[in-house]
Structure 1
Amino acid sequence: MFISEDGRTYNLKSAICKKGHLQTSTLLPEKKCPIDFCQECGSPIIDCCPHCNSMIIGGVAKEKYILSNLLTGERDRRVTLYKKDYVPNYCSHCGKPYPWVENFLKEYKEILEFQLEESEKDFQNKIYIATEEFIKNNCDIKSFAAQKLKIYFMKINALSREIFVNSLVSFGTDTIKDFFL
């Protein structure tokens, strides 16, 4: 007879506001977040993809059964919740962007249109597509998308470049700023 025995491991659910602020990553799949609005920005909190209704995958739960009575063999079930501090950008079920990414890309496109001339529409689209790919690659500065973006940013004036890079920093770290500027 074993003193402890591992049970199942399963995904927990994350609750994130529509602006991307993580509220919790340790909700049981059938539970709802106890608060409806983000205390940081006031945006509504979601726990499933607005496109396909699949839960936003958070941390994990691990069950363990511990022998509590040697004579009867009775076991106690213990569940340990492991949180995840990472806010995903895209749904793992349908592949569509979450609202915080959609909002960022919409605002980023507006900045592109404002900063670059109408005659540079093709160039705007190239920067936008490279930015989408950069985000899909978790803002990895070693990715091909990052290299393309860097080349594109070198072709625009310093003020515009700084505006675009500062926008991207919201999805990553200051390493992005150091890389692009």
Structure 2
Amino acid sequence: MFARRTPLSPPAAPLRRLAAVALLAGAGAAAQAAAPSTFGTIVGNAVLCLDQIDNAYFHAYLSTSFGPAYKREGGAYWFKADASLWGAAITDVIVSDDTSALTFVGVVADTTPEKIDEAIVAAAGLHYKKIDASKYPVRESSPGSKIVYFRTKSKVFCAKYKPLPPGNK
């Protein structure tokens, strides 16, 4: 009725878990992970400044969803993404590291700022205003998210000042 284990035989469940982890690790190296079904709600709302920003939470979420960050640069961890927000292809997701004075979450969209602005208005109803008169103007929404030029692409992000650590009030 029950399989009999000897004191030296390993339990089966941990071995199956190890095999599954090894299989997933190999699969992750071979192909980029697709975005989870919660990506639009969790990352999309944070990037538009419609939700809380906690860089530790987002780092864990992105690591679980896409694997480890492929680089750490400019005060941020960079994750490759196979995702879509507001009908636009997302190539990268960034989250602030602890060296940054701000806590932020952002995405790199494979489209121009003009087109991502239109897509966000159509999908989320959030409007952006140009806040400077430069050749490459920064756009800002009333909740505080920004759209900026990033080479031939766009960055959409929400940045907040870090809260004081507990006990420093």
TM-score range relative to shorter protein: under 0.3
Tell me the TM-score normalized by structure 1: 0.25
Tell me the TM-score normalized by structure 2: 0.26
More strand by proportion, 1 or 2? 2
Larger radius of gyration: 1
More helix by proportion, 1 or 2? 1
- Tell me which of the two structures has the higher relative contact order, counting C-alpha pairs closer than 8 angstroms and 6 or more residues apart: 2
